[in-house]
Amino acid sequence: MEGKVAKNARLPHMGRDSAWLAGADIIAVFLALLGQVVLTRALWTESYGLFVLALDVFATLFLVIDLGLPTLLARDGPGAPHRIWPSILRIYNLQVKAALPFLIAALLYLPFASSEVSSHAPIMFVCGIIALVHIATYAPRSGLRAAGEARLEAWTKILERGITTAAYLSLYALGITSVEAYAVAFLFGALCGLLFALWWVWKTLRIYDGQTGAQGEMGEAWLNNRNLLLQALPFAITLGVLPYVVRIEKFIVGLELGVESAALFHVAQLAWLAGLVIPQALRAALLPVLGKVRHQPEEFSRQMNASLDICFGLLPIGIFAGAAIVKLFLPIAFPSQYLDGSLGASADDLFIVLLLGWCFTLLATPTYTALQAGLHPWRFTFFILIVVGFSAAIGFAFIGWQADEGLTEGLYAAAYASTLSALFALLSSIHLSRSWNLVLERSGEWLIAASCMTLTCYGLLNGSLFAVAGVALFVFMPQALRAIGSNVQGSTLPKTIEAE
């Protein structure tokens, strides 16, 4: 007997999903920091350095296997949620084909590897698998977000990081100092995160059983694999370049000032990078929302304004919470030489300079995401390329100019270069997304936000009363709370499903 059963499916909602993803990322960051403390205590410095370096190298190299397809799924999935699960399987098929050349090249290289490389083969192998597993989690997590289940995506991140950290602590308690053991623990946590994501996305999308539809229902990009890969190419190129955006100044510091200065700058960046999970979470939540209305200019603009409300409201929280955490946490977690100026500067002072760059990055959230979700994805690629180019140019200019004056001047030059790069990224994203109306229509709010956050960071750096200017930013909190609690898109969407 055939009948129709009505079911409710959640839709992506920017305010709700931002809260879930931001909260999860903050928890995951603190768990990751705890994990790093365990690793530095359990492993020899050389082993720890090898582990971190291998993870970074493989994560960067293997990003090309992502192909930009999960980003496309998050953008287009809300328009045809019944196609999300088939699209995840399709993405895996393409990613496996993309990974084969890397695997073949590794197998061909292994017999000719030097004895030093061969001695590190186990840790390199495990780190390579970790990178592949992490890439495999992107599609199901994007599928959950596109299906309105960002809360489940958030839980996959928390569970993955929690399991990994618990495994580290267990090994440490047992007195194990093998770097391979800790790498396997990391791999175990990554696999758990992947399995949770796959299970939840499959369970969430079961309501669409029997409604497989056709390949092109999510848009023209999904009609065939050629179209799909061409449409995803801008995001694939961006993924290959993006890791260098936040690392350029540190690389230049290492070249111009030495490894000790690079280590100090890295410590200053740690808290700043932790804070960047907030705009990253906002962008992740906003992408499927904007993707669904990318052909509706008025609704697109309304969602961008709602996102900007949230960004304005988060400014004072980020500034004051970030400064407080750094003042309390850094002296406990890191040796005194990173804070007493003996290496040329104090990490917490450098962080305050970087904090203004965080503010610019936060305010760029709506326009950055508009470039991803808009009708001209190549503009997003161009945006990332010019930001990287600008960061490199101003980094070499500033740091090289001040390096001759001393370590202190060179380190502050790096921090100022990073902040100016963030400002350049904000202005470029506004221009390329054709969103100057978003600034002009709300020019008063932009003026208050820009002036107060700048004065506050200046005051925090110099210990002056200008720091209290940030209190004025709390005026944005009511509209931010309204935007988070609003239901512009609606929480659920009635679906009619054929059932027997």
Going by C-alpha positions, the residue among 75, 181, 73, 65 that lies closest to residue 122 is 181
Do 179 and 112 belong together in one domain?
A: yes
Helix (H, G, I), strand (E, B) or coil at 494: strand
* Amino acid at position 220, single letter: E
110 falls in which pLDDT band (50, 70, 90)? Answer: low
Percent of the chain with pLDDT over 90: 19
- On whether residue 358 sits in a domain, the answer given is yes
User: Are 209 and 288 contained in the same domain?
Assistant: no
H or E stretch at 188: helix 179-204
Based on the fold, state whether residues 424 and 456 are members of the same structural domain.
yes
- Domain limit, last residue, from 184, 208, 233: 233
**Nearest residue to 253 (alpha-carbon basis) of 358, 391, 355, 389:** 391
Q: What is the enclosing helix (H) or strand (E) of 7?
A: strand 3-10
* Domain boundaries, position 314: 245-481
Give the model's pLDDT for residue 212.
67
Cα-atom radius of gyration of the chain, to the nearest Å?
23
* Nearest one of 203, 190, 3 to 84, comparing CA atoms: 203
Does 493 fall in a domain?
A: no
Instruction: Verify that 4 and 79 share a domain, yes or no.
Output: yes
Asked, for residue 318, whether it belongs to a domain, the answer is yes
Domain match, 182 and 270 both = no
For the chain, the domain total comes to 2
Cβ distance 367 to 442 under 8 Å?
no
Percentage helix, strand, coil for the chain under 3-state DSSP, each rounded to 5: 85, 5, 15
Looking at the predicted structure, is the pLDDT value of residue 221 above 80? Answer: no
Question: Do 134 and 63 have their domain in common?
Answer: yes
Question: Please, are residues 419 and 356 in contact by the beta-carbon 8 Å criterion?
Answer: yes
Indicate the pLDDT class of residue 494, thresholds 50, 70 and 90: very low
Element (H, E) at 463: none
Q: Of 164, 198, 233, which marks where a domain is finished?
A: 233
Domain-terminating residue out of 233, 263, 286: 233
If one compares 463 and 339, the residue with the highest pLDDT of the two is 463
**Residue 175 backbone class (left: φ over 0; alpha: ψ -120 to 50; beta: rest):** left
- What lies within 8 Å, CB to CB, of 12 at 6+ separation is 78, 145, 146, 148, 150, 285, 288, 289, 292, 489
19 and 69 within one domain: yes
Same domain, 224 and 252: no
Q: What is the pLDDT of residues 260-311, one digit of tens each?
A: 677 777 777 777 877 787 888 888 888 888 887 878 888 888 888 888 998 9
Whether 282 and 310 have beta carbons less than 8 Å apart is answered as yes
**4 strand-pairing partners:** 498
> Are 317 and 192 in the same domain?
no
Domain co-membership, 271 together with 373 = yes
Which range, of 1-10, 127-136, 229-238, 344-353, averages the lowest pLDDT? 1-10
Q: Is there a domain that residue 321 lies in?
A: yes
Q: What is the mean pLDDT of the chain?
A: 81
Mean pLDDT along residues 77-102: 86
Residue 420 lies in a domain: yes
Instruction: Answer yes or no: do 265 and 226 share one domain.
Output: no
In 3D space, the residue among 457, 468, 400, 470 whose CA is nearest the CA of residue 423 turns out to be 457
Distances (CA, A) of 408 to 8, 253, 264, 399: 59, 11, 11, 11
365 in the same domain as 293: yes
Three-state SS sequence of 49-101: HHHHHHHHHHHHHCHHHHCCHHHHHHHHHHHCHHHHHHHHHHHHHHHHHHHHH
Tens of pLDDT, residue by residue over 382-405, are 888 898 889 889 888 888 887 777
Encode pLDDT of 423-453 as tens digits.
Answer: 999 999 999 989 898 889 899 999 999 999 9
Residue 491 placed within a domain: no
Asked if residue 201 is part of any domain, the answer here is yes
226 assigned to some structural domain = yes
pLDDT of res. 343: 73
pTM higher than 0.95 for the full model?
A: no
